[in-house]
Structures are given as C-alpha cells and as structure tokens.
C-alpha cells in the first residue's frame, strides 16, 4: 500500500474516532437536557448506564487517538522500514473496538429508555380531574366584589 493511502487511512480513522466522541458527548448533553421531559415513565437506572457507556466510549476514543499518534511517532523515530505504518495494530484496534462497543451499548440503553418513556405506562394519572392541594379561607375587610374562577 502506498504511503499516501496509509496516511489517508490514519486520517479517516482519526475522523471516525472524533465523530464518535462528538456524538457521545452530544447524546450525553441532550439526554441530560431533556431528562425532565421523560422522567415520569423511564427507568432512571437505564439512563445512568447509558451515560456511563457514552463516557467510557469517549475515554476509549481519546486512548485510540493517542495510539494513532504513537504509531505515527514510532514511524518517524525508527524509520518507515522498521515499523509497519498501520491502523490495524493491537494498540489501535483494542481501544477503537471498545469505543465502538460502548457507543453502541450507550445507544441501546438510550433507545430502551426512550421507548419506555414514550410507550411505557405513565406514573402520574392523566385524568381531567382537578385536585385540591390546599384549601384556604380568607376574610376580607371590605368585600366590594366577588371574583369567580371558571375552568374549561
């Protein structure tokens, strides 16, 4: 394989890793932002597992980027004939495989949580009844007019 194609492979691998890091952090941020909207029906443990998986995916992504950098550094130090310039070395494959695995697990748990939130039973009743929380009475010094509350 020519050197230009090998360098291109490193560029594409780096771009893919960065995309997964970006998606993981964005999904963590979005799920935290909109957590209150789905709190009534979803299982909070699933959401916590989802966040942990995305966070671990980000960590393995950073490790993979560091491994790619280390592989390129070895080639410049020892000469290109001694070290094989490849993205398929164990120092790159292991953390990148774990990054992808944890990203997919995070997506799975987020999907299950979303499905429970949308299609699961609601914890609160959705009736049209008005519930009285606290009943209060007031005495007016000079009651001039009477206010009426109309509920539609």
* Polymer length of the chain: 152
The pTM of this model reads 0.71
Higher-pLDDT residue of 44, 52? 52
Question: Is the CB of residue 125 less than 8 Å from the CB of residue 42?
Answer: no
Spatial neighbors of 100 by CB under 8 A, at least 6 apart, are: 20, 57
Dist. CA 116–CA 39, nearest whole Å = 10
Distance from C-alpha of 43 to C-alpha of 103, rounded to nearest angstrom: 20
Report the mean per-residue pLDDT for the chain.
82
53-70 pLDDT, tens per residue? 999 999 999 999 999 888
Q: Give the HSE-up count for residue 36: Cα atoms under 13 Å, Cβ half-sphere.
A: 1
Q: Which residues contact 69 (CB under 8 A, 6 or more apart)?
A: none
Query: Residue 12: pLDDT above 60?
Result: yes
Which one has a higher pLDDT value, 132 or 66?
A: 66
Q: Report CA torsion sign: 64, 66, 70, 72.
A: positive
The span from the CA of 108 to the CA of 52, in Å, is 12
Show the tokens assigned to 128: 């049209």
CA gap 75, 136 in Å, rounded: 80
Predicted confidence (pLDDT) per residue in 81-129, tens digit: 566 677 888 888 999 999 999 999 999 999 998 888 888 776 555 567 7
Share of the chain above pLDDT 70, in %: 76
Per-residue CA distances from 134 to 3, 77, 127, 139, 151 (Å):
76, 76, 19, 17, 18
pLDDT of residue 88: 85
């Amino acid at each position: 394989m020519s050197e230009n194609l090998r360098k291109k492979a490193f560029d594409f691998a780096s771009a893919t890793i960065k995309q997964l890091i970006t998606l993981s952090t964005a999904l963590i941020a979005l799920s935290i932002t909109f957590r209150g909207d789905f709190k009534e029906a979803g299982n909070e443990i699933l959401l916590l597992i989802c966040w942990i998986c995305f966070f671990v995916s980000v960590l393995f992504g950073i490790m993979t980027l560091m491994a790619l950098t280390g592989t390129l550094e070895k080639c410049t130090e020892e000469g290109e004939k001694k070290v094989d310039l490849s993205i398929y070395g164990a120092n790159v494959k292991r953390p990148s495989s774990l990054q992808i695995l944890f990203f997919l697990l995070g997506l799975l748990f987020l999907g299950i949580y979303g499905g429970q939130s949308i299609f699961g039973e609601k914890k609160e009743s959705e009736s049209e009844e008005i519930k009285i929380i606290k009943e209060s009475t007031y005495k007016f010094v000079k009651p001039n007019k009477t206010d009426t509350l109309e509920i539609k």
